[in-house]
Amino acid sequence: MTSATELPGRPRAGAIGGPATARATCVLAPNPSAMTLDGTNTWIVAEPDSDLAVVIDPGPLDDTHLQAVISTAEAAGKRVALTLLTHGHPDHFDGAARFAELTGTRVRALDPALRLGGEGLGIGDVVTTGGLELHVLSTPGHTADSLCFHLPADRALFTGDTVLGRGTTVVAHPEGRLGDYLDSLRRLRALAVEEDVRTILPGHGPVLDDACGAIDFYLVHRAKRLAQVETAVENGYRSAAEVVAHVYADVDRSLWPAAELSVRAQLEYLGEHGLIQ
């Protein structure tokens, strides 16, 4: 049996949800699936001595979940004052408009189409609601609008779908671009070293207590998959579907459609870098 300390990123044991750091609490949405793992992690973030909270990714349009987020904040003596989005996938933002209605908050995002209240998020912005300090990081790749948020006071990163608490992220063509994603992982790795980031607070799955180890695992995994796809093409597997059947033979077939989109992104990357014809 493998211990938790041997798993990539050192995932925390136990149920997902509840306090994760001094400033961050997770409320797990009831939308589990093969793609969302246990469900979407909605994060409530606040300074311990402040009565204002920021919510990251309100999750799906589910009133029971949205009310649970509000109730969790209120139980801690906090009022939700701002909503942030890591990216525009429905399991993260579908409930944003309803949540804004329930809380009277603005919704800030990189993509103007997802904003409510006018003000967006720009690269390098620092969110300071209630004395909180959240640094906005550009991490495209999973989607063009993907963001992460650095919480220096807790040596933590909110990673949305860029780094998950379990498994690896799908970079699906054409929305996802592998070159951008690899660059984003490298930037996160550099930040983790420079700022002594230790904890990853992901959009799905458990909290990870070894940020550098988790990102290194992702980089190694991507390099291995690229090598496998390149070899498959050299051996005559030309279409994305053929590559999936060869490279992902050990993966549940229900996930092959997502794997095919990922392979398309990998083939695009290999072609752009002149590694395949």
Element at 102 (helix H, strand E):
helix 96-103
Given a cut of 70, whether residue 1 has pLDDT beyond it is no
Tell me the mean pLDDT in the region 25-52.
97
pLDDT at 5 over 80: no
pLDDT tens digit sequence for 41-57 = 999 999 999 999 999 99
DSSP secondary structure letters along 65-87: HHHHHHHHHHHTT-EEEEEE-S-
- Whether the pLDDT of residue 183 is over 70: the answer is yes
Percent of the chain with pLDDT over 90: 91
Residue with tokens 């049996």: 1
Q: Please give the pLDDT value at position 6.
A: 59
Mean pLDDT value of segment 86-103: 98
What is the structure's pLDDT at 251? Answer: 87
Q: 211-269, pLDDT tens digit by residue?
A: 999 999 999 999 999 999 999 999 999 899 999 999 999 888 988 999 999 999 999 99
Of the candidates 36, 33, 53, the one whose C-alpha atom is nearest the C-alpha of residue 44 is 53
Cross-strand bridge partners of residue 208? 11, 200
Query: Residue 45: beta bridge partners?
Result: 24, 54
pTM here is: 0.94
